[in-house]
Amino acid sequence: MYFLTIRVSTPGIDAIAREGVRFEKGYAGAPICTVSRAALLTGRYPWRFGLEFTPTPGAMAKVAGELFGTERALRPLILNKDSAAKAVPFDDQGMPPSEQTLAELLKPRGYHTMHIGKWHLGQSTAMRPNNQGFDESLNMEGLLYLDQNDPGVVNAKQDFDKVSKFFWDNGRASVSFNGGKQFKLPKYMTDYYTDEALKAIRSNKNRPFLLYLAHWGPHTPLQASRQDYDDLANIPDHSRRVYSAMVRAVDRSVSRLLKTLQEEGLDDNTIVIFASDNGAPAYIGLPEVNQPYRGWKLTMFEGGLRVPYVAKWPGRIPAGSRYAAPISSIDVLPTLIAAGGAALPKDRVIDGVNLLPFIAGAKTEIQPPRALFWRDGPYRAVQEQGWKLIVSERPKKNWLFDLNRDPIEQTNLAERDLQKLAHLQKLLLSHHADMPSPLWPSFLELPVEIDKTTNQKQLPDDEYTYWNN
């Protein structure tokens, strides 16, 4: 099989790594957006409070069977109509208000807290950003970067991408501010969010602030600004060019933010963290996007969980640092809470660890070994000291990898190292033993080929897994 790999220059993201620390084993809290974002904002495994599945609009639930159809008959979609009928209303699917977010914990220290972009942690008033600790929220309400027919946008529609078909058919390009009336995006979403982020920085430069800038890019649907698309004329494939242009826009956002912090004299006293909430999906049809790792968004393989993680704090984090121990989204909250001089809540388990003692200039400690966990119904994973176990019910299978020797998960050792298999199985059982039931039921199970994109032909011997939602 021939892969045409296109590398997009990312000077903004690279600058954070060059001026700070690159986490070489950065993991998302989940292989899917909502659960991962809840982990970042609470420092907790989200299944501790029942957030296990991704909120799904009722319209999408109703048409799921039609969207995915039966053409992939080797491994069909499994739709539980009873669960769909009993599901919690979409607006109420999200992070419980009883959870304490990073914003809520920093506010007592005088921080002005701001959210820009994606939320996807509940649409009800109680679950929206303004009631989860954010003083200001410019909230993404639609699914499009710009109206499809806008002359400033280039679309890449793919017949095999059933997820984006729903977005194209039902999406709009709109936002709201502090829960007010929705309004149309005035320009390409990534650039607009960046403009507003720069205004927020300048307006709050004389007081402590938290800015949670949650870009939608490069999430589907594939839409690029016309300028970015035109600037990448060296990429012949249309979809790959659009996707690359979307990445380019996000990186430009990072560059503009860093420049503004410098111009306003805030650079030395500001922590900047860049990360993603999951790996790229198979349904965009670009085989190389997660290389060299196997798997995609929705899977527990490295391609679904390994994400870029870089951070900078001049004077505190040595420039050009590399951090080898595995870290996760759950570590962001305790790290920033420590940096901001705030206190962690004592009435609940905080799963993440404060990374500052291990990455700051006067570091004197070594991070103790720990296990990291992931969960999606019966589909679960654990990693400890370089060993990783993935378990699934559909298919009923274990995958055991020694990531120290096999970081791209090519050799399944589940039938060879029974002692290590038993040890990690015991860790999984212990971790999940007292977890509550999900706040809403899974209504579908979606097959995902581990080594193929959605538009590649299925074969009986292909390895696959099922994602529960």
Convert the pLDDT of each residue in 44-67 to its tens digit: 999 999 999 999 876 666 656 665
Q: What does the pLDDT look like over 126-167, one tens digit per residue?
A: 999 999 999 999 999 999 999 999 999 999 999 888 888 888
229 within 8 A of 250, measured Cβ to Cβ: no
Give domain status of residue 6, yes or no.
no
Give domain status of residue 138, yes or no.
yes
| pLDDT given for residue 77 in this prediction | 85
90: which DSSP letter? G
Say yes or no to pLDDT of 377 above 60.
yes
Give domain status of residue 2, yes or no.
no
Sign for the pseudo-dihedral over CA of 338, 340, 345, 346: positive
Give domain status of residue 29, yes or no.
yes
Query: Residues 6 or more apart from 1 whose CB is under 8 A from it?
Result: 287
| pLDDT given for residue 66 in this prediction | 60
Query: d(Cα 74, Cα 263) in Å, to the nearest integer?
Result: 57
pTM given for the model: 0.95
Residue 233 sits in which domain range?
Answer: 11-468
Nearest CA among 110, 101, 107 for reference residue 129: 101
Q: What does the pLDDT look like over 190-221, one tens digit per residue?
A: 999 999 999 999 999 999 999 999 999 999 99
299 within 8 A of 465, measured Cβ to Cβ: yes
| pLDDT given for residue 60 in this prediction | 66
C-alpha distances out from residue 179 to 147, 250, 353, 385, 420, Å? 22, 25, 33, 44, 50
Q: What does the pLDDT look like over 348-363, one tens digit per residue?
A: 999 999 999 999 876 6
The one-letter code for the residue type at 109 is R
By annotation, the residues acting in catalysis are 33, 120
Give domain status of residue 4, yes or no.
no
Average pLDDT across the chain, whole number: 93
Q: What is the CATH number of the domain that holds 132?
A: 3.40.720.10
| pLDDT given for residue 73 in this prediction | 67
Give domain status of residue 217, yes or no.
yes
Q: What ranges make up the beta strands (E) of 284-386?
A: 309-312, 321-323, 327-328, 371-376, 379-384
| pLDDT given for residue 5 in this prediction | 45
Give domain status of residue 43, yes or no.
yes
Give domain status of residue 343, yes or no.
yes
| pLDDT given for residue 1 in this prediction | 25
Give the percent of the chain with pLDDT over 70: 94
| pLDDT given for residue 90 in this prediction | 87
Nearest CA among 59, 41, 61 for reference residue 51: 41
| pLDDT given for residue 88 in this prediction | 85
* Number of domains into which the chain is organized: 1
